[in-house]
Structure 1
Amino acid sequence: MTPAGQIKNKPTKRQAWLMASRPKTLPAATAPVLVGTAAAFYDKGFSLFPALAALAGALLIQIATNFANDVFDYKKGADTAERLGPVRVTSAGLLTPKEVFTGMWVVFGLATLVGVYLVAVGGLPIVIIGLLSIASGIAYTGGPFPLGYNGLGDIFVFIFFGLVAVCGTYYVQAGTVGALAWWCAIPIGLLATAIIVVNNLRDVKTDRVVGKKTMAVRIGENGAKAEYVLLAAVSYLVAPAMCVAGVAPWWTMLAWLSLPLAYQQIKLVFTVTGRALNKALGGTGRLELVYGLCLAVGLVIARLLGS
């Protein structure tokens, strides 16, 4: 455990809550909504208020999940003094477990209120998506079979921060899910997964000690690095593939403008270890957001040009 007294310039309660929300992870919630909305716009299904509600709901679920991870990792003893990642507020004593646990349910509750509107728009499928998202957010580190502790975190992130988030955003606007949404969801899900790969690569040694069997622990550090490169490579191959398949306009190749940023993160993953990987963690979050933004801009331009 990291005593709060060992932290220089102890943060205020407000700052502690901001730390607990983990702002650097929020691109994983924002990028899918941007892309799903742009895909709906290209397919002439855009609707402003459902798009805004989808963004609000995604951010709230991400923040609540971060709170859940903070408190459940603390309860399971995973956040030791040897942890290399950013400060966890519960283990550092900045917030009590009860406060973080209560905060988790409050934010999930706010997400549910947003969900009520989305259910009115999208019906039963949104109920199912919402319940599964909340349950999975808790089950990532909580419950009798925590996904993140059993090597299932990567597939969880790909499904919920890629397929579900992009296609769900598209659905609440267009009332259906077109092929373009499914294709666009793949690279976004892969890059979101790359974020968790860096996180687990950084913590592989400490996770192994506490019995947290992430994918990185299971396949080793070299395997995790290879997984990161594979996720990035496939993400960039999807853009031309869907253009060749006639599903998307060639303007979606604007996503390749983010390649220099991808190269920087891959270089970091292969040249630094331990705490230094926090830079790659934040960088991968930015990569997903920039990739998603470029992809979305390409779709919007294509629709405005009628191409």
Structure 2
Amino acid sequence: MSERPERDQGWRIWWQLTRPHTLTAAFVPVLLGTVLALNYAEMDWLLFLAMLIASILIQAAANMINEYFDYVRGLDNENSVGIGGAIVRNGVKPKTVINLAYALFGVALLLGVYICIQSSWWIAVVGLICMAAAYFYTGGPLPIAYTPFGELAAGFFMGFVIILISFYIQTGMINVIAMFVSIPVSILVGAILLANNIRDLDGDKENGRKTIAILLGRKYAIYFLAYMFVTAYGFVIILVITGAVTPWMLISFLSIPKAVKATKGFIGKTKPMQMMPAMKATAQTNTIFGFLLSIGLLIGYFS
């Protein structure tokens, strides 16, 4: 038997289990939805913070659930690339991981109660659906992540829905502008999952998954990733040309070099470790793009 790799100790294990590089996918939509709301209502900082923390907790819980079920299904091992596989590498008890995920859901639920009291109890229905989606993304008999709909589900719930909830709890309404502005961010959230699936394509295929990356093949999956980037930026251009948003939102184009780096980083690569920089650049594209969109909206608001 080969010697077990040296185990990490202390808080770093638990920090890694949250998959911190993915947490901006929860932060950016909340920020954008709240900034959008400034044109229609005065900002409620407590609601913003409650929504922000709840979204991050749900994202972290979803990551831990993913860790747990990947272990249960035998997908992770001590040689797993990235920060997955903490259970097999670091000796963390599987039951502890799943219980911690449920605890994070519980705290998010309490924050949700406060949000509902201050806005509408319909938010509770939407919030519970989001939690269920987070669980069934990798849990249950047919995980969403194992199907071609993983990117769509992630983009819809972590982009479109969170932006609209963040907008609604500040304004008490939903409008077409908020829905349209949420689309490019939703696309880039989905791109993060596609990048992950391109990296894991070979292993996922061996384990019976049917992701978009597997169905398209590596070459065309990379083309599709590039298409998602182009569509996201193109959508911003359309919004500006039609006068739906301030031209300052074009500042988001400063994130294009990251998108180019992400796309090029996958070309010609076949080993997961080789594709890690490209996967990181994809997540950074979403983060920088979302922040810049928010800054553009703020500049337009104060102009």
TM-score (norm 1): 0.93
**Further displaced range: 277-286 or 73-82:** 73-82
Deviation per CA, 1:167-188: give whole Å up to 9, x if none: 1111111111122211121111
Deviation per CA, 1:149-168: give whole Å up to 9, x if none: 12221111111111101111
Q: How is 1:124-273 mapped onto 2 (pairs within 5 angstroms)?
A: 124-273=121-270
Residue 198 of structure 1 deviates from its aligned partner by 0.9
Matched, 1:50 2:47: yes
Q: Give structure 1 regions of 4+ aligned residues with deviation exceeding 6 angstroms.
A: none
Deviation per CA, 1:100-140: give whole Å up to 9, x if none: 01111111111111111111122132111210111111101
Residue 91 of structure 1 deviates from its aligned partner by 2.9
Residue 44 of structure 1 deviates from its aligned partner by 3.6
- The residue that corresponds to 1:299 in the other structure is 297
SS at match of 1:77: coil
Query: Separation in 1 of the partners of 2:274 and 2:119?
Result: 43
> Counterpart of 1:72 in structure 2: which amino acid?
F
> Counterpart of 2:295 in structure 1: which amino acid?
V
Residue 81 of structure 1 deviates from its aligned partner by 5.2
- The residue that corresponds to 2:18 in the other structure is 21
Matched, 1:285 2:286: no
> Counterpart of 1:285 in structure 2: which amino acid?
A
Q: How is 1:54-69 mapped onto 2 (pairs within 5 angstroms)?
A: 54-69=51-66
Deviation per CA, 1:253-302: give whole Å up to 9, x if none: 11111111211111112243321212122221111111011110111111
Query: Separation in 1 of the partners of 2:206 and 2:215?
Result: 13
Query: Separation in 1 of the partners of 2:222 and 2:20?
Result: 24
Query: Separation in 2 of the partners of 1:125 and 1:251?
Result: 33
| 8 Å Cα contact 1:84/1:203 also seen in 2 | no
- The residue that corresponds to 2:69 in the other structure is 72
**Further displaced range: 258-267 or 78-87:** 78-87
SS at match of 1:92: helix
Distance 1:205 1:145, change over 3 A: same
| 8 Å Cα contact 2:138/2:145 also seen in 1 | yes
**Correspondent of 1:90 among 73, 87, 90:** 87
Which ranges in structure 1 are unaligned for 5 or more consecutive residues?
A: none
| 8 Å Cα contact 1:57/1:111 also seen in 2 | yes
Query: Separation in 2 of the partners of 1:84 and 1:204?
Result: 13
> Counterpart of 2:187 in structure 1: which amino acid?
L
Matched, 1:6 2:4: yes
Query: Separation in 1 of the partners of 2:40 and 2:281?
Result: 31
> Counterpart of 1:91 in structure 2: which amino acid?
V
Distance 1:155 1:67, change over 3 A: same
Residue 233 of structure 1 deviates from its aligned partner by 0.5
> Counterpart of 1:119 in structure 2: which amino acid?
C
Distance 1:298 1:42, change over 3 A: farther
TM-score (norm 2): 0.95
Bigger RCO of structures 1 and 2 (CA < 8 A, at least 6 apart): 1
Residue 65 of structure 1 deviates from its aligned partner by 0.2
Matched, 1:110 2:97: no
Deviation per CA, 1:211-233: give whole Å up to 9, x if none: 12222112211221122111100
Which ranges in structure 2 are unaligned for 5 or more consecutive residues?
A: none
SS at match of 1:213: coil
Report the aligned-residue RMSD: 1.6
Residue 66 of structure 1 deviates from its aligned partner by 0.3
How many percent of aligned residue pairs carry the same amino acid? 30
Query: Separation in 2 of the partners of 1:300 and 1:290?
Result: 15
Deviation per CA, 1:58-84: give whole Å up to 9, x if none: 100000000000001111122245643
Query: Separation in 2 of the partners of 1:64 and 1:226?
Result: 31
Q: How many residues align?
A: 301
Query: Separation in 2 of the partners of 1:43 and 1:284?
Result: 32
